[in-house]
Structure formats: C-alpha cells, structure tokens
Chains A and B, each alone.
Chain A
Amino acid sequence: MISNMPPRWLERLLLLTLSPRNRETVSGDILEEYREEQLPRRGEVLANLWYLRQVAGFALICIFGGPKLKKVLACMCLFVAAAGIWLAVMENVLRHDGYIERSAVAACIAIQGLVTLIFVWFGGDSIFRSLIAIGAGAAALLGASAVARILRASHFEGFVLIIGLALILEGILTWTVLFQTRRAARLHQL
C-alpha cells in the first residue's frame, strides 16, 4: 500500500512549485490524500490525473501569485522616485529656460514612484488600483516619449535615456503586478 507513489516526474514538479517552507509539509499532505483517498477510490489513472491537477494549481499560483516581481517593482519604484527627486533638484539648481515646468514633471515622476511603492507594500482598494494603473500608463508613455526624443536629438543625454527606460519598465511591471493580483484573487476562488 505504502509503495504506491504518484509518477516521479509529477512529484518533482510539485516540489519545484512549492516554497522551501511548504515543500515537505504540503507534498506530504498531497501524497497522503493520493494514497489514502484518491488511489483506492478512483484507481491509478484517475488518481494520477487528480495529482496532475493539484500540481497545475500550485504551478499557477507559483507563476501568478509570487512575491518576487513585487520586490523588483519596489526597487524600480524607489529608483524612479529617486530619479524624479534628483531631476527636480537639478532643474532648480541649474534654472535653465522652462525649468519650472520640468520641475513639476520631475515632481510628478517622484510622487508616482512613491505612491506605487506604497501600493506594492500595503495594497489598496479598487479606486487606488485604478489610479495606480493610470499612473503606470502615464509613466510608461512619458518614458517612451523621452526615449524617442533623446534617440532623435542631436545632443545625447544618457540620464534621460536611463530614466525613460526605467519609467517604461516600471509601468509594465506595475501593470503585470496589477494583473497578477487579480489573477491570484480569482485562483483563491477555485
């Protein structure tokens, strides 16, 4: 009875999808259910299908519910906020023509980065999420226009390219995290 095991490759796949903290306990629970309930009641083929479904469920949560992407986004938000503050300070120090408008844009970049960071750590309701989504879209568009402008300009400014790319990346990551959060919430209802 105890020798009855699910396919080895499936078990390895399950272990891959589990966090180190849950690896032993959760795989044990699934194995216990497989041996005690699924195998005697459904037979080998259906029990293996049941096991496969559980692995698929864990894999989906591993892909769409993981915290790693949030950490990357948090770093990106910090970088964007710092870049916005630095730009605003530099504009006010150098005071070239149109520095007030550019300072305002830089301040908006900093605020957008900080607000998105707050969302990453603390979450928020649907209105806050919508605002974050709009902010991320605006940041990505601003970044794309800055990159397009600097690539066409005769005078190349490296920092504009870096900040522009950071804004695009932050926008894409924010949208991905927002999508993942919705997806994970739906998975919890499975």
Chain B
Amino acid sequence: MAELLGVFEQAVLLAVLKLAEDAYGRGILRGVQTMLNREVAAGAVYATLDRLEQKHLISSYLKEGTPIRSGRTRRYYRLTAMGIQSLNESRAAHKQMWRGAKLPLGVQP
C-alpha cells in the first residue's frame, strides 16, 4: 500500500485529474481553490506539485507559452499509474474510516 495522501495533496491530484489535458499550474491552482472553497497561496500548490512529482505520482511536460504570459513556457501535469493508485487508496481509507458512523453527526446528550 502506498503512503496515504494529505488533504491538500489529494486536492492537487484531483485537480490534475479533472483538468486532464489542461492541467497546468494556473488551472490547478484554481481547481484546488474551488475544491477547498478558499483562497490558496500559489507557492503551496507549486511546492506540492514538485513534491508529488518527486514521489512519481505525477509527471510533467512543457508546452510553448502564449502572448498573455509573454511567451513563457507552460508546464503541464498528468497523473501516473502510481498517482491514480494512491488516490484510490486514499479514498478507500477515508471510506473505511467513516464506516459505522451515523450521519449526520450530532452531539450526544
């Protein structure tokens, strides 16, 4: 079993997954913000992307830049097989953790 992912790592991986071919830094940042419903520092997202790439959960490739970004190249990300497995395992771990709990949770008198 792979190392379980933190919430932020899961959000970044899910953003990469949902964006598919359009998964580059800016889109991922927006995706994470939407998912977590709060503003997120760009640096935190890029640091996480670097870390996930070092763990071989995602891979990246470069594409030419557009005039809006002064021609600077874009780095696109995609999930690796290990990344998908890690997401599945994290999801299963969450389900397992919540199993047996009566929802919605309430305060016991």
Chain A residues in contact with chain B, CB under 8 A? 2, 22, 24-33, 35-36, 53-54, 57-58, 60-61, 65, 184, 187-190
Contacts and interface: CB of A to CB of B under 8 A. Distances in A.
Interface of B: 6, 8, 24-26, 29, 40-44, 46-48, 50, 62, 65-70, 72-75
B95 to A, nearest CB: 23
B68 A2 contact: yes
Contacts of A184: 47
Contacts of B24: 25, 29
Most buried by B among A29, A30, A33: A29
A54 B42 contact: yes
Contacts of A61: 43-44, 47
B41 A190 contact: yes
A30 B65 CA distance: 13
Nearest to B12: A188
A188 B8 contact: yes
Nearest to A30: B42
Nearest to B43: A57
